[in-house]
Amino acid sequence: NSSINPIAQQSMNQLASERFLNDSIAGLNQTPKQLPCKYFYDQRGSQLFDQICETEDYYLTRTETAIMQRHADEMGNCLGKGVMLVEFGSGSSIKTRYLLDHLIQPVAYVPVDISREHLYESAGQISGDYPQIEVLPVCADFTKPFSLPNPKRRPSHDAVYFPGSTIGNFQPNQAKQLLESIAHMCGEQGGLLIGVDLRKDRETLERAYNDTQGVTAQFNLNLLHRMRNELGATIDVDAFEHHAFYNEEAGRIEIYLRSRIDQTIQLDGQTVEVEAGELIHTEYSHKYTVDGFAQLAAEAGWTLRRWWTDENDYFAVLHLVV
């Protein structure tokens, strides 16, 4: 919480750093080496992500926003009256505004994000613009259990908004587990409104993850800068380059950091050897068909009620119920 005392804040930051350190060491000791994509999002990483969303090449945000703009009234009706809306990975909460504009007597909005400063800043703005909705930000890693705040007024039910195709970052099995825990979180009356990036031609997909301005490359490399700045790691960051391609069989974009040289990373007293040309995996971005996603969600207890897409079928927003 933003009103929490500075000592508590400091120990929470320390805990977050410890997790970042432990996960980094564990990941670099695996074969092949990997680093979790959730650590992209410190303050600079969140800013870089917002910049990616504004590039011509990254069609996802633009397309999803247009879908929201066009259909938010129907979505608001689907989610029902008196809802507490919980958003997973709220970031700048830009798309959410279309939804908030069309919810029927909403009780509370709970943005959940791992990036603390970014979360509180966006929550403050939403709170100022929507005085009738209680805004209760939660700084959490939503892949781990976390508790929901208690709003002053009692909601008739909870609904989860999970935009941005963030679900694509999870391997299908993990995605299923996350969808299961969302079902538990919302309960019987609960609903889920989720944004999913759809399968399409390789060229369009690969362009989105290799933008000509190189913002995605900076975003990926920011992970190594964070390790250097926050964890005191010794890394030749400039010797790494961004590498992203579409794996069509697996239906996913795969993102790596590639070292151009042999180098030794030192981290918390440990050394990790990286060979020239070696890849460190940082992110998957899975692409689905609407049917494929509905099937996966069904395994987690969800039923597809409605869905909306754009004129090119690039992206879909799905409404599911338990």
Q: Which of 162, 209, 240, 288 binds ligand AVJ (CB under 6 A)?
A: 209
Q: Which of 34, 165, 222, 259 binds ligand AVJ (CB under 6 A)?
A: 165
Does residue 27 interact with ligand AVJ by CB under 6 A? no
- Footprint (CB under 6 A) of ligand AVJ, residues 214-233: 216
Task: Report residue 289: phi and psi, to 5°.
Answer: -100, 160
Task: Report residue 300: phi and psi, to 5°.
Answer: -100, 10
Q: Which residues pair with 243 in a beta bridge?
A: 256
Nearest-approach distance from CB 69 to ligand AVJ, in angstroms? 19
Evaluate whether 310 touches 67 at the Cβ level (below 8 Å): yes
Nearest-approach distance from CB 204 to ligand AVJ, in angstroms? 13
The total of other beta-carbon atoms located within 10 Å of residue 100's CB is 22
Residue number with CB closer to ligand AVJ (161 or 209): 209
Residue number with CB closer to ligand AVJ (91 or 155): 91
Q: Report how far apart, in Å, the C-alpha atoms of 301 and of each of 38, 190, 222 are.
A: 26, 12, 37
Can you tell me the distance from the alpha carbon of 87 to that of 96, in angstroms, rounded to the nearest whole number? Answer: 8
Nearest-approach distance from CB 95 to ligand AVJ, in angstroms? 12
Task: Using the structure block, give the residue that is written with the tokens 């969808």.
Answer: 179
Q: Which of 34, 93, 115, 166 binds ligand AVJ (CB under 6 A)?
A: 166
Q: Report how far apart, in Å, the C-alpha atoms of 183 and of each of 73, 106, 123, 192 are.
A: 24, 20, 24, 8
Residue number with CB closer to ligand AVJ (52 or 316): 52
> Which part of the chain contacts ligand AVJ (CB under 6 A), choosing from 12-20, 138-146, 164-172, 313-321?
164-172
Site string for ligand AVJ, 47-66 (x = CB under 6 A): -----x-------x------
Q: How many residues bind ligand AVJ (CB under 6 A)?
A: 11
Q: Which of 36, 168, 190, 191 binds ligand AVJ (CB under 6 A)?
A: 168
Omega prior to 36 cis, within 30 of 0: no
Q: Which residues pair with 88 in a beta bridge?
A: 112
- Footprint (CB under 6 A) of ligand AVJ, residues 254-283: 283
Does residue 42 interact with ligand AVJ by CB under 6 A? no
E-strand ranges in the chain read 83-88, 108-113, 134-135, 138-139, 157-162, 191-197, 240-247, 252-259, 263-267, 270-274, 279-286, 303-309, 315-321
Does residue 36 interact with ligand AVJ by CB under 6 A? no
Strand 240-247 relative to strand 191-197, pairing: unpaired
Which positions lie near ligand AVJ, rule CB under 6 A? 52, 60, 164-166, 168-169, 209, 216, 283, 285
